[in-house]
């Protein structure tokens, strides 16, 4: 691509690197003075059909928005532009002159404790801003960190979330399938491997990077406790207990036991107040530390780590059948390695070998009964096996351990539907939406179920007006005299501004229930908006008959009388409104206005007075206008 012009302005100079998700190039911006250098990243979806491309485009735009917000931080490259060209997606970012942190954090060499504290403070300080935006980096590792030449600060690059454009989850029949986790093995915690990263998944990655810097060992070669899967590193290097405690909390196997976000970890680290070397952070490497075991796993054959790394690589490449064979070797040598069992189960699940996956997840839960991810995956497997009662029990265990997991509340709702427990399913969907109001999958599931159950009032309350009307029509087809369905139908039509149809629905309500003063008022307001003052007069006349102390109804009736030139009667209506509410300024202004108008026409011939009575016709759309003076109120309650 050298010399190629992208976006009409970015001239490619040379290729910087790349992988399966995309390629990175150094470029110059020909539209700016001096043609400054920038970095252009090309991202390409794996499939280019119309549906996948549109999905990728939405995700790309969302990620670009996130990067734009994050770029205001001094240690995050600024997003300069993003555009689409020939089914490729391009991000243009600020060029940072510096060296990758791989030059500092290398196998076999150790950084001093102070250097590591400096590095942690630098990284966590930047990550605080990232987490404030509710963005997860997902791929923090030495090769995604640059030591900037100008000030020696560490710059965080290559946000892993952007890689979703190339590896976006597929959604089929309302189910999201994530087969390849985004991130780098060794720095990626278990929940991220399972496709459910959290903010403190980034904390885990930084903690593993700190252990790599302290011990000189790559993360995958750090020994783990076979019972708990916790990292066993304290015997490999000597550091202050306070720092060790902080790092331990950063890399806990269970994300709930880690710091919730970078702010908490950064605050804890700042309590150490370590001494600083005058040379500044990261300028020199510490002395080579004490020798470490050549085989931290304790496997006498020496093949355990090799097989585990090979299995992980194959899993990452979606070669699940081969990964299963290598994981099998691992668990044969180390049957207590629960992480290997978990990965083996996920590989089997991707091969649709659900019974085998279930056995492996049960093996993990036998030793770690509070592992919410194992319960979640167990529920998915049982769902695929159509063992819905078991899947429901598994999801309930997830929610016991993680009550704010909105995805699981949605999954639980879908299982309850399959078990025909529809009311409880709605409750689950409601909880999912309560936790995440923009959760479209749960919103859609809840709406679909409410329509099927003809839950019109809830549909209306949730602003699903079109669906509410459809549900009302179904209810009316079953019972044409269902006044509540007619009322809600009118309200939904009114919300959609379909006023003539709404008026017809309200008119049907008052035909069925002539004493419904609320519907009479709604009908009067719509008729007034439709510029039909005579039938509106009928409607408001019925309101004041049914609610003689309703000052608003008297005012509205007065307005309609005024519009039909019944000025004397309008004055009486306004006077009644003011009697009920003396500080009713709108009615007072109207009263004065009509008095003035009446004075100008005082000499005009007056129509003969007729005996006052209320109209008996309850069809306001066709009724004769009401008498022009205030009606006598029957003895009814307010």
Cα of 414 vs its chain's centroid, Å: 18
The sign of the torsion formed by the CA atoms of 350, 354, 358, 359 equals negative
* 29: exposed, middle or buried (Cβ count in 10 Å: 0-12, 13-18, 19+): buried
Give me 170's structure tokens.
């597929």
Q: CB of 162 within 8 A of CB of 16?
A: no
- Give CA–CA dist 93/116, Å, rounded: 28
Cα of 104 vs its chain's centroid, Å: 38
Paired strand residues for 488:
none
Residue 288 half-sphere exposure toward CB, CA atoms < 13 A: 6
Q: Say which DSSP state 169 is in.
A: P
- Give CA–CA dist 255/419, Å, rounded: 32
Helix axes 113-132 and 262-270, enclosed angle (nearest 10): 150
Helix axes 338-350 and 372-384, enclosed angle (nearest 10): 30
Residue 190 half-sphere exposure toward CB, CA atoms < 13 A: 27
Category of 623 on φ-ψ map: left (φ > 0), alpha (ψ -120 to 50) or beta:
beta
Give me 455's structure tokens.
């839950």
Sheet (strand 154-156) strand order: 98-100, 145-148, 154-156
Q: CB of 10 within 8 A of CB of 29?
A: yes
* 252: exposed, middle or buried (Cβ count in 10 Å: 0-12, 13-18, 19+): buried
Looking at 139, 312, 337, 371, which residue is catalytic? 139
Give catalytic status of residue 139 as yes or no. Answer: yes
- Give CA–CA dist 400/108, Å, rounded: 43
Active site residues: 139
């Amino acid at each position: 691509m050298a010399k190629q012009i992208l976006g009409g302005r970015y001239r490619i100079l040379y290729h910087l690197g790349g992988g399966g998700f995309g390629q990175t190039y150094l470029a110059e911006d020909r539209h700016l003075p001096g043609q400054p250098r920038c970095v252009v990243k090309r991202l390409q979806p794996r499939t280019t059909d119309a549906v996948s491309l549109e999905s990728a485009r939405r995700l790309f735009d969302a990620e670009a928005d996130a990067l734009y917000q994050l770029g205001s931080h001094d240690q995050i490259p600024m997003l300069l532009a993003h555009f689409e060209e020939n089914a490729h997606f391009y991000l243009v970012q600020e060029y940072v002159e510096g060296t990758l942190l791989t030059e500092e954090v290398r196998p076999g060499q150790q950084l001093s404790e102070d250097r590591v504290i400096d590095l942690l403070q630098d990284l966590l300080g930047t990550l605080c801003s990232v987490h404030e935006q509710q963005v997860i980096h997902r791929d923090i590792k030495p090769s995604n960190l640059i030591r900037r030449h100008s000030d020696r600060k560490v710059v965080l690059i290559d946000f892993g979330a952007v890689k979703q454009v190339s590896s976006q989850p597929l959604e089929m029949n309302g189910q999201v399938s994530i087969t390849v986790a985004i991130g780098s093995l060794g720095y990626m915690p278990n929940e991220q491997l399972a496709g459910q990263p959290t903010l403190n998944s980034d904390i885990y990655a930084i903690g593993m990077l700190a252990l790599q810097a302290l011990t000189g060992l790559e993360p995958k070669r750090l020994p783990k406790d076979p019972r708990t899967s916790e990292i066993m590193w304290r015997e490999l290097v000597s550091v202050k207990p306070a720092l060790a405690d902080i790092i331990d909390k950063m890399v806990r196997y269970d994300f709930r036991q880690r710091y919730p976000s970078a702010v908490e970890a950064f605050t804890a680290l700042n309590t150490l107040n370590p001494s600083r070397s005058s040379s500044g952070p990261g300028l020199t490497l510490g002395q080579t530390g004490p020798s470490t075991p050549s085989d931290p796993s304790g496997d006498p054959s020496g093949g355990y780590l090799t097989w585990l790394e090979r299995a992980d690589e194959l899993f990452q490449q979606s070669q699940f059948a081969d990964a299963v064979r290598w994981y099998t070797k691992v668990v044969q040598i180390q049957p207590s390695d629960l992480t290997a069992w978990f990965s083996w189960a996920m590989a089997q699940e991707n091969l649709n070998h659900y019974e085998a996956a279930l056995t492996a997840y049960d093996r993990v839960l036998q030793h770690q009964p509070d592992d919410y991810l194992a319960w979640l995956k167990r529920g998915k497997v049982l769902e695929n096996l159509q063992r819905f009662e078991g899947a429901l029990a598994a999801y309930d265990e997830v929610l016991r351990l993680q009550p704010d997991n909105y995805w699981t509340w949605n999954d639980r709702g879908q299982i309850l539907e399959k078990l025909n427990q529809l009311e409880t399913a709605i409750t689950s969907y409601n909880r999912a939406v309560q936790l995440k109001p923009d959760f479209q999958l749960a919103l859609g599931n809840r709406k679909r179920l409410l329509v099927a159950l003809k839950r019109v009032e809830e549909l209306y309350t949730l602003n699903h007006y079109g669906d509410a009307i459809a549900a009302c029509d179904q209810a009316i087809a079953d019972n044409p005299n269902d006044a509540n369905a007619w009322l809600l139908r009118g309200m939904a039509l009114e919300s959609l501004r379909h006023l003539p149809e709404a008026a017809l629905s309200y008119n049907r309500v008052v035909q069925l229930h002539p004493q419904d003063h609320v519907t009479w008022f709604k009908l009067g307001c719509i008729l007034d908006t439709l510029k039909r003052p005579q039938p509106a007069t009928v409607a408001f006349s019925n309101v004041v008959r049914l609610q003689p102390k309703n000052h608003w109804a008297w005012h509205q009736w007065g307005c309609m009388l005024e519009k039909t030139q019944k000025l004397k009667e309008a004055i009486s209506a306004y006077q009644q409104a003011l009697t009920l509410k003396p500080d009713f300024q709108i009615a007072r202004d109207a009263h004065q206005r009509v008095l003035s108008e009446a004075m100008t026409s005082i000499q005009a011939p007056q129509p003969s007075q007729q005996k006052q009575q209320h109209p008996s016709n309850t069809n306001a759309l066709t009724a004769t206008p009401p008498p022009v003076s205030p009606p006598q109120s029957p003895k009814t309650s307010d």
